[in-house]
Every structure is written in C-alpha cells, then in structure tokens.
Amino acid sequence: MNDGDRYRPSEAVLSGRTADVYFLHARDVLIAEGRDPTVTMEVFASQGGVLCGMKEVLRLVRDALPADGQAWAREEGDRIAPGEVVLRIVGPYRRFGIYETAILGILAHETGWATAANRCVEAASGIPIVHFGARHVHPDVVARLEYAAVVGGCSGCATPAGAELAGIVPSGTMPHAYILCMGDTVEAMRAFHRHADPTINRIALVDTFKDEAEESLRVAEAMGGDLWGVRLDTPVERGRVTSDLVREVRARLDQSGFPNVRIVVSGGIDPEAIDRFRRKGAPVDAFGIGHAISSAPPIDFTADIKEIEGRPIAKRGRIPGTSDDSALKRRF
C-alpha cells in the first residue's frame, strides 16, 4: 500500500460531516457573497510532545487545495515545543476551511497517543514495547491509535489495521480465551505451533491455569527450541506481575536449560511500573502496554489565520503575520 492510499481521508471527513457546523455555515455564506480570499493559516500545539498525524493531515490538505496551494509542515515523529508552529497552509479559504476540525482532531489525538507511547519507550530504555491498547478505543480509530504508538517508538502493535497503517507486521500470539477453550496451556501451545504461520514468534501465555513459573517450565520443556518466549499477564486479582515473579521465572528457566526463552510482561504497565521493574533489576525482555497509551489525553492544537491576500492579520492576542520557524519544510 502506498502512502497516498494509506493516509486517504474518509468520505465522512471529505464531505464535511465531521466538521464543526459553523465552518460549513462560513463556507456557504462566503460562496453566497462571492468571496474566497487566499489565506495563510498556521497550526500550533498547546504543549510539547511527539508530533503525529501530519502525514494524514497533509494528504487531506493536498486533496483540498488547488494546484497552486502550498503547505509547510514539521516531520512526523518530531519533538515539538508548546506554541511551535507545526503546519502552515496557503490557499483559498473556501477550499480547506471546513477541514479545520479534522486537521486539529487528527493532530490532537495522534500526538497525544504518540507522546504517551514515547514516555513508555523512554522509561523502558531500550526494552521493546508492543502496543496492546486497541480494546480501549472505538474500532473506527484503532488503526490511528496503533500507528501513533509506533510513531512514538513502540516496536509493534496488535491489530492488522494498525500494523498496515504503520507499515509493519502485527504482533501477538494467543488470548486467555483460546487457552481456556483448549483446556491446557501446553496443548494450546502445541496446537498453535502446528497450525500458526511459522513466521510468528511462539510466545506462551503462562498465567491461565497454573503458577507462572511452573507453566513456563512445562511449555519450555514441551516446545524446546521452538519457544521464543513466555508472557506474564497476571491479573490484578492476584497482584499483577511483580519484579520478584519475573526474577523467579527467569531463574527457573535458566536452571532448567532454557536461557534463550524470553520474558514478556503485560497487564497494567505504565512508565511508573516500567521504572519499578528496571530499578529492581527484573529481567524483562519486552513489555506489552495498552491503557497507558490508549487513554492518553489529546494534545490541544490551534489554527489561526495569519495573513489574508498577503496582508498580516490575526485575532486579538495573536501576532499578525507568519511565524519565523525554520523547522517547517515545504511539502507542496
């Protein structure tokens, strides 16, 4: 899939059905009055973070503007500061004004998610993180959430839609429900190994029926060198995964001749939890993180007209004229 298809706006966005209705009123009145000034609009964030959603926004703006329209923007994944201009659009206002809601919403949510993901990645300090948070949002925005998590630094994400948008392969093996249906973790893992795509890492979920350390050894002994790793996802009712548990599982695997079996930890993981694992020396090989990224609040973006027909202008409290920002790059 090329970038043009990957970031194509939905019909709901293009039609204006997702716009604040006052933008539609403004367009209709300007049409009736025969006015369509060329304006320069700038977009900036209320706080710092990891910019995300710009590729999607640029595709929307390119589709909206005439051939001589212009756009300058920061790069996807850039670190941005509060008040820093991330996007400048020059073109006839009627061609793109109704998309202000969409532009700000795309940047707000995706930048919020990417920034939260980056906080987790920085806390992990090189330990890979896979995003598992699709279940916490409406399915229509799952791909954008997971894409943003990858832009923020996650090494993987769980859904085919998110992975396709991010240009990677989805990550994940099996749910508790499957193991319960099979009736035994070892049997579940053996069946998975028989039938699943051989390119998928064999990672056993080991907290369903038995003690995590015991189950890890049972699966390792049954799978031998085919076992990539075990995932600890102990529920809150049993105290979640602790550093002591990780150390015990690692020690028992090593003592039984399975030093290459990796340990993945998930369940209630956030930057503070990652920091606790690292401070206590827990030998975690990867983290699965959901809510700490998916629940991140949007980062507010604002759009201001700064010039009309080349004349500096702005609403009260804002400085007329374009900002001097060398970090912006001409996109078209």
pLDDT for residue 3 is more than 70: no
pLDDT in tens, 210-239: 999 999 999 999 999 999 999 999 999 998
Residue 41 shares a structural domain with residue 64: yes
Q: What is the pLDDT of residue 326?
A: 79
pLDDT attached to residue 186? 97
Residue 2's pLDDT is: 57
Q: What is the pLDDT of residue 28?
A: 97
266 bridge partner residues: 288
pLDDT at 1 over 80: no
Give yes or no: residues 179 and 281 share one domain: yes
Task: Give mean pLDDT, residues 74-103.
Answer: 97
Mean pLDDT across 232-250: 95
- Residue 232: φ, ψ to 5°: -100, 120
Mean pLDDT, residues 165-193 taken together: 96
Find the CATH number of the domain harbouring 79.
3.20.140.10
Average pLDDT over residues 186-214: 96
Task: Give the CA radius of gyration of the chain.
Answer: 24
Q: Do residue 248 and residue 265 come from a single domain?
A: yes
Going by their DSSP bridges, the two strands 129-131 and 85-92 should be labelled as: unpaired
pLDDT at residue 82, rounded to an integer: 96
In the prediction, which pLDDT does 6 show?
A: 85
- 97 with 138, same domain: the answer is no
Give, in degrees to the nearest 5, the angle at Cα 255 between 253 and 259: 50
Residues 269 and 163 in one domain: yes
Confirm whether 118 is domain-assigned: no
pTM for this predicted structure: 0.93
pLDDT (mean) for 176-198? 97
Question: Are residues 284 and 159 part of one domain?
Answer: yes
Q: Is residue 317 part of a domain?
A: yes
Q: What is the mean pLDDT of residues 34-38?
A: 97
Q: What is the sign, positive or negative, of the torsion defined by CA atoms of 174, 234, 259, 156?
A: positive
Helix 271-279, helix 243-255: angle, nearest 10: 50
Cα 273 to chain centroid, rounded: 20
Q: Under a CB-based contact definition with an 8 Å cutoff, are residues 216 and 179 in contact?
A: no
Q: What is the pLDDT of residues 140-174, one digit of tens each?
A: 999 999 999 999 999 999 999 999 999 999 999 99
pLDDT at 175: 95
CA angle 99, 104, 107 (to 5 degrees): 125
Lowest pLDDT segment from 45-49, 58-62, 282-286, 316-320: 316-320
Range of the domain at 225: 124-294
Q: Cα–Cα–Cα angle for 202, 207, 209, nearest 5°?
A: 110
**Strands annotated E in the chain:** 38-45, 49-50, 70-73, 79-80, 85-92, 129-131, 156-157, 203-205, 229-232, 262-266, 286-289, 301-308, 311-312, 329-330
Task: Let me know if residue 116 belongs to a domain.
Answer: no
Do 254 and 136 lie in a common domain? yes
**Alpha-carbon span 175 to 7, nearest angstrom:** 30
Over 70: is that where the pLDDT of 288 sits?
yes
